[in-house]
Amino acid sequence: MTISRDELVNVLTVVNFLAHAEREMHAAEKKILIAVFKAAAITPEEQKQMKENTSLEEMLKHIQSVEAKHALVELMALVAASDGVFEDEERVIIKKIMKRIEVADDHPYFDDNNLDIPSVRANVGKILNSFKTLAS
């Protein structure tokens, strides 16, 4: 997977936005975010940049490559599945983002407006490892 560092930071910023969408972040979601940030070797400067990004629309404009879009959907699924419940708010946000970045609704983790939580959880290692390769 090859995406620019800028795209990676924007992908993680959007995922962070999703995790905070419910106002109260579940401990499992926080754990996943920390693991993803570590796997991607996010620097303090990048963290600062992420905090300064407040426009979801702006962040999405910077996610152009097919690989970055795929990574975003994978991570959104991972965060949404981490607490074992696919909340309505998460569903709405993910669907809107997928539509905005032009990713088809037929993604393997999503079926009939639902998230295949067991499938996502079975692929946690694969998803995180793909970000370790991006960081190196």
Domain assignment of residue 60, given as a range: 5-135
Evaluate if residue 45 carries a pLDDT over 90: yes
Task: Return the pLDDT at 133.
Answer: 66
Cross-strand pairs, 115: 110
Rank 16-25, 39-48, 116-125 by mean pLDDT and report only the highest.
39-48
Q: Which residues contact 95 (CB under 8 A, 6 or more apart)?
A: 105, 113
pTM: 0.86
Span 54-69, pLDDT tens digits = 788 888 998 998 888 9
Strand partners, 111: 114
Domain tally for the chain? 1
The type of residue at 43 is: T
- Cα 117 from chain centroid (whole Å): 15
User: Which percentage of the chain shows pLDDT scores above 70?
Assistant: 93
pLDDT score for 56: 85
Distance between CA atoms of residues 118 and 136, nearest Å: 29
Give the CATH number of the domain where residue 111 resides.
1.10.3680.10
